[in-house]
Amino acid sequence: MFTDQTFLVTGGTRGIGKATVQALIERGANVAFTYQSNRVLAEQICEELGQGNNILAVEADVQDFTQAQKTIAQVKERFNQLHGVVLNAGIARDKPFYMMSEEDWDVTIQTNLKGTFNYARASVFDFIKQKYGRIVCVSSVSAMKGVLGQVNYSTTKAGQIGFIKSLAKEVSKFGITVNAVAPGFIATDMWNDIPDDRKAKILGEIPLGRAGEASEVADAICFLLQSNYITGSVIAVDGGILI
């Protein structure tokens, strides 16, 4: 599906990011991914998932625009071209709003929303020049459904949806599509951190009765990366919790 194409995934060492890296490689792509600081883990993933010279790990802080520009340059130097970016890197600092510190708010905004800007902005001019590009943002059902303790997180995820809809209108004439996936409760580290009693309540709200798998979100991301006539859309991968 993606033979001779190159994609960049931000935050590719675990969860949805790692699953996306794996799914793209299985579909024949060259893949670069960013990581915050754990070089050992990043190198392990390259050894585990890579086949020859088709994978690249780049240490970069998603909050830093200059680092985003350098990352794009590294990817192009290694693979000559970039066809799409998956804006996945993000954090959650959950707590009741009346207990939320300014730092909890700011770091969530800087990572989830500013990070989205940084990598989309760093890559979009190349996409315009080559008249082709795919941008997929990993948002959340928290953008569309109130979730206790996630005022900061939900704000950033809703912002990402506004971002992809506006950007899609601007760049569609250049052959660029911009979309988002909105995962529900996925069996990642964030899910594992939820207390068992709350997990049970959440599962009772999901029509399919289970948490999703990271690979199921990755499949939706790959679908959007290969689609030519979908833009400005959000695909919920949520087991029906938004119904």
Q: Is residue 1 part of a domain?
A: no
Instruction: Give the pTM.
Output: 0.95
Range of the domain at 103: 6-237
Element counts in the chain: helices (H) and strands (E): 9, 7
Q: Is residue 215 part of a domain?
A: yes
Looking at every residue in the chain, the average pLDDT score rounds to 95
Widest distance between CA atoms in the chain? 52
**What average pLDDT score do residues 31-37 get?**
96
Place of tokens 């993606």: 2
- Number of domains observed in the structure of the chain: 1
Q: Is residue 243 part of a domain?
A: no
Collapsing DSSP states into helix, strand and coil, what is residue 207? coil
Each residue of 87-126: pLDDT tens digit?
Answer: 999 999 999 999 999 999 999 999 999 999 999 999 999 9
* Catalytic annotation, residues: 153
What CATH number is attached to the domain comprising 120? 3.40.50.720
**What average pLDDT score do residues 41-70 get?**
94
Q: Is residue 84 part of a domain?
A: yes
Distance, in Å, from the CA atom of 133 to the CA atom of 154, rounded to the nearest integer, reads 27
- The pLDDT assigned to 50 comes to 81
Segment holding 238, helix H or strand E: none
Place of tokens 């010279």: 53
* Radius of gyration for the alpha carbons in the chain, expressed in angstroms and rounded: 17
Inform me whether the pLDDT recorded for 51 exceeds 80.
no
